Chains A and B, each alone.
Chain A
Amino acid sequence: MSITPFTQHTGVVAPLLRDNIDTDAIIPSREMKRVSKQGLGEGLFAAWRYTLPGGREPQSDFVLNQGDYTGASILLAGQNFGCGSSREHAVWALREFGIRAIIASSFGSIFYNNCVRNGLLPIPLDAAQVELLAERVVRDPQQQRITIDLPAQTLALAAEPEGILSFDIREGDKQMLVEGLDGIALTLKHAEAIDAFEAQDKQQRPWVYL
């Protein structure tokens, strides 16, 4: 599947400031019904978003069901967002729902990699900064949008453009996101190095090569 490049994005921000939001919560296993990367958006946060397991009646107190957060494309979260199961369905579900970026104080490492490979931008920020942003956003979610500039590695509240925050991302991850690159194609540029490694390794560890 082609990946949507990520350069600049401005969007409504939904705060979900729990720590350790695991990928079972992002998409319960029971919502992964088809042999496909599609059709998962409906199951996003299903256990919190709907009143009954398997049902589709919105749970009114869940942030993504509230009118103030209509069209949210950025999530604000606590520590260790996306921990647990390696299921890439969590990222596919977020993407299909319309989420483009997640700002959290830390991420599960497998989830982080899955994001980068699917055009979803994970932004690690200090917990204090996350809370500060959340405080601003909840005052008027539709007005207090956040603008993210990935090439510049900055973000700011649309209403307070002078309050720019910068964030870290590795150059390789940034390149994949900005250019919407396919990791396999990038790696196949090193095919000769892989073949050379293998030829030498076969001498040293012949039992590995079944």
Chain B
Amino acid sequence: MTQTLFDKLWQQHLVRDLGDGEHLMYVDRVFLHERTGSIALSSLAESGRSVRAPARTFCTMDHIVDTFPGRGDHTLMPSGRDFIEATRRCAHAADITLFDIGDARQGIVHVVAADQGIALPGLLQVCPDSHTCTLGGLGALAWGIGSTEAEHAMATSTLRVLKPKTMRVNFHGDLPAGVGAKDLILHLIARYGAGGGSGYAIEFAGSAVQALPVEARMTLCNMAVEFSAFTGLVAPDENTIEYVRGRPYAPKAEHWDAACAHWRALVTDADAIFDRELDIDCSEIQPTVTWGTSPEQAVAIDGSVPQLDEESDTRKRGAMEKALAYMGLTPGTRLTDIAIDAAFIGSCTNSRLSDLRAAARFLEGRQVAPGVKAVCVPGSTQVKAAAEAEGIDQIFLAAGFEWREAGCSMCFYAGGETFGAGKRVISSTNRNFEGRQGPGTRTHLASPLTVAASACAGYIRAAGEQP
């Protein structure tokens, strides 16, 4: 019988069919962070249970820890230290691997998972963070869960899961110059809505996806959750295998060939049937930027904030009005006429080495516009060190960007650092929700390249439009 990639991964992890669509699925890796990890671990311990497979359970500090140079356990967020200390205590008590502050492997959970080879093609991996789907870019079956489910995964090495439907999104053709994975996913969400992937596990395919570097595939899958999908996936190929080779937790020599043979079979069979397929012609995609407070409120960079009467659905029009009020924008304003106060490069969406390289190539010899606060937060301490070895930090600093320690940083506001109320930020992150980056802060999502170009222009701008 022909199978999709998702069906194969599902079958390989199926412990038992529990009936009524619910399946008991074997979990290969659990990764925690200090925001919810401490609660999940302490709640597990309080119920008298232990972590079933501590050697395959990991934890990092990313959500709350500050990213200022010289940081420690103290955080700008009130009570942040409590989370950090509790996580450290619980991780040690549970005997799981912790990438603590000061560890050369610390960083954003989904960046570290790939850095360290903890995430691999074909693994089932979960984390109490919705962007765990990032790891689908490696061909892992990975998704975000709540804390209670994390306890369940740690206690039993399984999860009870409702099998989602399957969707394939085919990106046909070649990407125009200056268009990257972030633009693909924003374009998809704008076209089919923030709920467009609801109930589906999505395989991203087509010539444009095959041509994407592995790190860009992670960017694509990262925002599957903003499309409301169960997860996103890209079939592993030789590029994936080369990406994984030699990483600390990757298969060792004695298992390497067998692992590669297993991974090479992780493809959708010809003639396999998906519950839904979408086809997108990449030649029509431009650098894409959000104007509103949902990732579906995005347009091509040469476009304008839409007119209310272009939306026939009264509920959507109501949402547009609320978004316009929050964002301080009027319909018809050209995107490139919108001035920005700040620029942010970071987050599990776009903080890997290739993202920093793309921005640095643009920033070399250029300056951030006067009055724009520009911040770059590498996704992991390892990414930061690799970038510094190439001199990328010096390019960012010379251009006028701050160069930070690794963490989630201002992707969201936890009571600590923010750009401020009413400030307009062009951001390589994943959520433009009201208040996401701080009370009253206005977020425009874009690729790291567009963020770099906008930082220098002082206005929303594509890299191609700069002198």
Contacts and interface: CB of A to CB of B under 8 A. Distances in A.
Nearest to A201: B26
Contacts of A83: 194-195, 228
Contacts of B156: 184, 187-188, 191, 194
Contacts, number: 187
B224 to A, nearest CB: 11
Contacts of B43: 1, 37
A20 B294 contact: yes
A210 B55 contact: yes
A23 to B, nearest CB: 8
Contacts of B386: none
A90 B18 CA distance: 28
A85 B79 CA distance: 21
A84 B26 CA distance: 25
Contacts of B82: 34-35
Interface in B401-443: 412-415, 421, 431, 433-436, 439-440
B258 interface: yes
Interface in A100-133: 106, 108-110, 113-114, 117-118
Nearest to A187: B156
B172 interface: no
A75 to B, nearest CB: 17
Contacts of A53: 421, 435, 439-440
Contacts of B433: 22, 24-25, 84
B443 to A, nearest CB: 11
Contacts of B255: 206-207
B308 interface: no
A158 interface: no
Interface in B92-149: 120, 122-123, 128-130, 143-149
A53 B123 CA distance: 41
B147 A35 contact: no
B82 to A, nearest CB: 5
Contact of A194 (B157, B195, B413): B157
B28 A208 contact: yes
Interface in A53-110: 53-54, 78-80, 83-88, 91, 106, 108-110
B394 to A, nearest CB: 33
A176 to B, nearest CB: 9
B434 A47 contact: yes
Interface in A11-66: 17-20, 22, 24-25, 28-30, 32-37, 47, 53-54
B199 interface: yes
Interface string B12-27: 1001101111101010
A163 interface: no
A183 B148 contact: yes
B21 A170 contact: yes
B316 A197 contact: no
Interface string B147-160: 11101100111101
Given A19-B319, A109-B228, A184-B151, A35 B439 contact: no
Interface of A: 1, 17-20, 22, 24-25, 28-30, 32-37, 47, 53-54, 78-80, 83-88, 91, 106, 108-110, 113-114, 117-118, 170-172, 183-184, 186-188, 190-191, 193-194, 197-198, 201, 205-210
29 contacts: A20-B194, A20-B195, A20-B319, A24-B431, A24-B435, A25-B433, A28-B413, A30-B415, A30-B439, A32-B414, A33-B78, A33-B79, A78-B315, A87-B35, A91-B146, A109-B164, A110-B146, A170-B21, A171-B20, A183-B149, A183-B160, A201-B26, A205-B12, A205-B259, A205-B262, A207-B251, A208-B56, A208-B123, A210-B55
